[in-house]
Structure 1
């Protein structure tokens, strides 16, 4: 189960051989605080995965077999400040004026929860539930788009749908000079980190291939 509405995360997992069912968590990101941008990404991932797991645990007719819930959330750290999705076109434009020529860090929190076969649902969790959290961080070096390019990019609407107001795998990729670290993490889900987290819970990555 993927607790995210992000089409980029879903397509990344599908390209890697997984085919998760999507259950949108419904967690509101506004008003959540943490000690650092990286911690914020992890906290949001935990909340999203937890909301989906609680919904599944509350189901009086749970699905047969072990269920894996994956929750992710990304934030861009720039000068120590965390930026999620821009709230408006003007915010996206202002963000890009800050970002151009700068270096930031894209943090993606990952929360994996494993629900046992036929787990009874109380909505509060049970002892057999296993979970782990990890955060991937990738350095992003931005190009210097002109004001005209920024306005045109914001007008596409893409920046309003993604953390930090940019993509690596979409129209915004032309405005990123390079990344240092896992590029999948910038897209929204780190495949190497996810594989490691699953292995820690006794789940083999290759067993999840469809």
Structure 2
């Protein structure tokens, strides 16, 4: 919550720059009644404009591009009397040193799981927070190790056939059907789902917003 020039408290609106229902569910379970505005950013174009980025730089740049696009969309909607923060996120999985996003096809998802099964990968999530009333911004990334099980061919065919792995970075979830095939997570589970609560709290604080002041009254 922010203070106006006269010291009056003003409610800060949380805007999620993502179409991910999993990210929204994490926020709602954690007390945030977020608005959703999808950025529509061309991620390949953003990545192509970067010069040899590290994995952390890549996901952070993509998250910032999404947040900036939504901030532009909302220009004039929020002002000093109606402040808002826009939060952008991007996730990729590192397998054997290769960064991968969403599979492009069912065949691609099968190949990903052939490489992941019985091993580990690092799920890297980049976050960007833009405060619209002050222009303050903050970015960061969080890496979490995921230990994968080994699904049978029948299980993998059914999982890929469900369509779920085609819609998520790394071709797996821990909060959906994919959770059956994940042995464990070493690190922040919310980051694997798509939005790290600890990192988001930190970045919000950097732009002058306390997360507890964003909790909805019904939390």
TM-score when normalising by structure 1: 0.90
Secondary structure of 2:205's aligned partner? helix
Aligned to 2:190: 184
Aligned to 1:6: 20
Q: Find 1:208's aligned residue among 195, 203, 214.
A: 214
Distance of 2:43 and 2:166 partners within structure 1: 14
Instruction: Give the deviation of 1:62 after TM superposition.
Output: 3.9
Aligned to 2:35: 21
Aligned to 2:55: 37
Distance of 2:141 and 2:42 partners within structure 1: 20
8 Å CA contact 2:118–2:147 kept in 1: the answer is: yes
The one-character-per-residue Cα deviations of 1:57-104 (angstroms, maximum 9, x if unpaired) are 2x4x54541111000010001111111010111101111101101111
Secondary structure of 2:44's aligned partner? coil
Instruction: Give the deviation of 1:30 after TM superposition.
Output: 2.3
- Number of aligned pairs? 197
8 Å CA contact 2:78–2:84 kept in 1: the answer is: no
Instruction: Give the deviation of 1:139 after TM superposition.
Output: 0.4
Q: Where does the alignment leave 5 or more consecutive residues of structure 1 unmatched?
A: 117-127
Secondary structure of 1:30's aligned partner? helix
Give matches, 1:31-110, under 5 Å.
Answer: 31=45, 32-33=47-48, 34-57=52-75, 59=76, 61-62=77-78, 64-110=81-127
8 Å CA contact 1:109–1:136 kept in 2: the answer is: yes
TM-score when normalising by structure 2: 0.87
Distance of 1:165 and 1:29 partners within structure 2: 17
Instruction: Give the deviation of 1:37 after TM superposition.
Output: 2.3
Distance of 1:9 and 1:62 partners within structure 2: 23
Give matches, 1:110-149, under 5 Å.
Answer: 110-116=127-133, 128-149=134-155
Q: What is the RMSD of the two structures over their aligned residues, measured on CA atoms?
A: 1.2
The one-character-per-residue Cα deviations of 1:22-45 (angstroms, maximum 9, x if unpaired) are 000001222415522222211110
8 Å CA contact 1:37–1:80 kept in 2: the answer is: no
Secondary structure of 2:201's aligned partner? helix
Instruction: Give the deviation of 1:206 after TM superposition.
Output: 0.5
Instruction: Give the deviation of 1:186 after TM superposition.
Output: 0.2
